Each structure stands twice: as C-alpha cells, then as structure tokens.
C-alpha cells in the first residue's frame, strides 16, 4: 500500500505527463493553470499548484483541497480524487479489469449532440453525433483529424485510447484511427 505522499507524487507525475512538461519554473505552473482553465474550464491558481508541487518549499506546502485533487484527478482521466486514490493506492497493474472511469455509450446520445475530445499534447476535437455511433468532426485543433471527417465509435472511456473505425479522412478511403494512444482521451458533452 502506498502512502498519501507517494500517491500525491504519482498524481503530480500523471499531471506532468498529461500536460507534456515537468513543473520546474513559474512559467510551467502558469501554463498548467491556463491549460486547466482552457481545456477543462477549471480554475486552479498557479500559486495553489506551486504549493501542491512543493515549489515554494516545505513550509509553504499545505494539504490540498478536495476540489483541487478532484480537478487534477479528472485532468489525468479519472472521475474524481477518490477513484484516483483507490486506483493508485493498490500495488501493481492488472491486465484485465472492469472499467472504473467515466464512460459514454454513444448509442445513448441524441442526434446532434456535440462532444469535446481532448488528448495530449494539446489536441482538441469537437465532434457531432449523427446517430447510430456515427460522428462528424466539426472543429479540430492540433489534431490529424480534419473538419468534415466522419467515423464510427461505440464507446468513449475517460483516460483510455479512443478507437475510431470507418474513418473517412478528407474524402479518402475508410481507415481506422486511435486518439490518445499513450495517455487516453478526456471528453465532455458540450452544451
């Protein structure tokens, strides 16, 4: 069983992996705070992040608030801090397991529903559900996917790679594609 400090350390490492940089300078913390606000609409100050990382020294370290831990756990692909804690405190990884992260069965979506997909580094794609697990890309930032591409996907799992089948990219022949192969995807249903 890992200690709470080891779990905090693992969370810091997972956040750094997700954002694509180590937290070593004030600019790194500013970037992370801005990235959390931009991608997740979560406001955590750079000062709070510095305290959690111990950047300001041990005397300035404080027990992080649950809201901060929940936001950082969500950022790295878990539904909340408790889910991350339970997963991280267990020793070892298993090859097969039940899905514990937030998931979305796309058949349950109404036609026209838009979903924001995010994965490393700084990939943001908004897709519109056309019905029967078919999606159209309506916005793409820093991704190989293009506006107008279509694909099929039956299940989206937070923090896991997202597999697209029947992808028609820029009018070409159908192919398959994986988003977030190493660190998984995050998703949010748009209003």
Give the confidence band of 91 by pLDDT, cuts at 50, 70, 90: very low
In a 10 Å sphere around its CB, with 0-12 CB exposed, 13-18 middle and 19+ buried, how is residue 105 labelled? exposed
Q: pLDDT digit string (tens) for 21-76? A: 899 999 999 999 999 998 888 899 999 999 999 888 777 667 789 999 999 998 88
| Predicted TM-score (pTM) of this structure | 0.51
- Express as a percent the part of the chain with pLDDT over 90: 50
What distances in angstroms separate CA 119 from CA 48, 59, 76, one per listed residue? Answer: 24, 35, 10
> Which strands form 174-179's sheet, in the order they lie side by side?
174-179, 162-168, 150-152, 134-141, 123-131, 114-119, 186-189
Report pLDDT for 58: 73
In a 10 Å sphere around its CB, with 0-12 CB exposed, 13-18 middle and 19+ buried, how is residue 118 labelled? buried
pLDDT above 60 (res 92): no
Report pLDDT for 3: 78
Report pLDDT for 169: 94
Alpha-carbon span 1 to 69, nearest angstrom = 20
Report pLDDT for 78: 87
Give the confidence band of 141 by pLDDT, cuts at 50, 70, 90: very high
């Amino acid at each position: 069983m890992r200690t709470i400090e080891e779990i905090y350390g693992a969370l810091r490492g997972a956040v750094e992996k997700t954002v694509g940089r180590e937290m070593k300078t004030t600019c790194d913390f500013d970037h992370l705070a801005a990235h959390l606000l931009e991608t997740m609409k979560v406001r955590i100050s750079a000062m709070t992040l510095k305290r959690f990382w111990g950047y300001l020294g041990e005397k300035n370290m404080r027990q992080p608030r649950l809201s901060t831990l929940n936001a950082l756990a969500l950022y790295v692909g878990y539904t909340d801090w408790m889910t991350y804690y339970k997963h991280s405190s267990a020793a070892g990884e298993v090859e097969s397991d039940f899905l514990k992260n937030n998931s979305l069965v796309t058949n349950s979506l109404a036609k026209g529903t838009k979903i924001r997909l995010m994965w490393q580094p700084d990939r943001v794609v908004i897709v519109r559900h056309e019905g029967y697990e078919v999606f159209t890309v309506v916005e793409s930032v820093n991704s190989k996917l293009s506006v107008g591409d279509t694909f099929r996907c039956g299940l989206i799992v937070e923090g896991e790679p997202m597999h697209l089948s029947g992808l028609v990219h820029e009018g070409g022949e159908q192919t398959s594609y994986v988003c977030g192969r190493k660190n998984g995807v995050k998703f949010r249903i748009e209003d």
